[in-house]
Structure formats: C-alpha cells, structure tokens
Amino acid sequence: MLLYSNAGQGNENTRAALTEENLKKVITLFSLDMPTGHIVKATGIPLAMVESLLREVRKKLAERCADESPLERIHLTDLELDEEIQVLGVVQKGSKMYMEPVPGLHNDLLAEIQQRKEVGLEALEAMGIGKKYCALIPIQGGYAMQLSRPEGSEEFWKMISTKMPFCQQTEKADAYLHLKECEFRYNYPIN
C-alpha cells in the first residue's frame, strides 16, 4: 500500500515512495534510537521525509508525556506562540522523570545563575524554583543545571546530554520535542 509519494518532485535521485513496509522500518529504527541519517540510509527515504515523519512521532510522544504527567500540561501550540517559555524544570516522581515549563526563568538568567552558583541557588530559592526541581534545562542554548542528583537518574542525564548540542542548533519547537523524547524514552524503556 502506497502511503505517500513525492514522485514528480525533484530529480530521479530524490523520488521515493513511502510504503507501509518503509514506514514500519522508520518507526523500528527510531525506536532503537538510530540517528536520522542512518534511518535515511537504511530505508532510502529522503531526509526531509524522514525528518517530517519523526517530527510527527515526537509530537505524539510529547502528547503522551503530557497526558501521563502529574505536572502542568503544555500544548505544543502554546510553546510555539509563547516566547516566555525558555527553560524546562525536571521533577522526579517515583522512578520517572517529568519536565514542565518554568515561567519567568530565561536562558540568560539560568546562565548567570550557573556562573554564580551560590548566589544563583539563593535566587532560585527566592523564586520558589530551587526545591521543586532536580534540574533546569534550557530548551535552546546553554547547559542543563542539576540542582540535585536523584538516585537512578543516570540514564536520563545521559540522554539529555546527548540531545543538548542538537537542541542548540534547531528550532525551539523541535528542540522541545527532542527533550520530551528523552523523557518518554526514560519513562518507558524498551527492555
């Protein structure tokens, strides 16, 4: 069954048909955490099409995370429209990690807090942020700031540190989706 075709667009080398079999391959390779470039090589599907498919998959994962989270629910349209959301706070509940937007905390302020750690931690306490979150993650640019190291969270931080360089080079909404993918993969591991 033909699901999508870009036949007639571009030259002969970029034409491809997305069949149900190819779609299953893309999803399988994504679930194994294969890089996008490897998925393109393995399936022969053009990069733009694979990226589009994976963006839709990540949106579904973000929706699932929001549905299952005991924290504030965020809709992607809100994120795309609201420039105020620049940092996600990480909360551990049981064995799971959840991320939510931290209103009023901007990348610049987070960077300043990281540079002046002792003063910064006091500022976070004064904002009511310090005790709630175990970490703060800028959606784009900067570095995650761990406030505490919950037991058993090493795999989560490994995933986040792998994604952070990519998040600095992409659109804000896509960076958010990649971070929510980490939340999903950590909370629902394939074993």
Residue 63 has pLDDT above 80, yes or no: yes
161 CB contacts (<8 Å, ≥6 apart)? 144
Q: Compute the average pLDDT of residues 24-29.
A: 94
Lookup: tokens for 131:
């005790």
Which segment, 27-41, 64-78, 81-95, 131-145, is predicted with the most confidence on average?
A: 27-41
The overall pTM is greater than 0.85: no
pLDDT for 76 equals 53
**Is it the case that residue 162 has pLDDT exceeding 80?**
yes
- In angstroms, the Cα distances linking 63 to 42, 74, 77, 95 are 28, 9, 12, 20
**How many Cβ atoms are within 10 Å of 77's Cβ, its own excluded?**
9
Region of poorest pLDDT, from 92-96, 111-115, 120-124, 170-174: 120-124
Q: Please give the mean pLDDT across all residues of the chain.
A: 79
In this prediction, residue 57 has a pLDDT band, given cuts at 50, 70 and 90, of very high
Residue type, 9: Q
Q: What is the mean pLDDT of residues 121-140?
A: 78
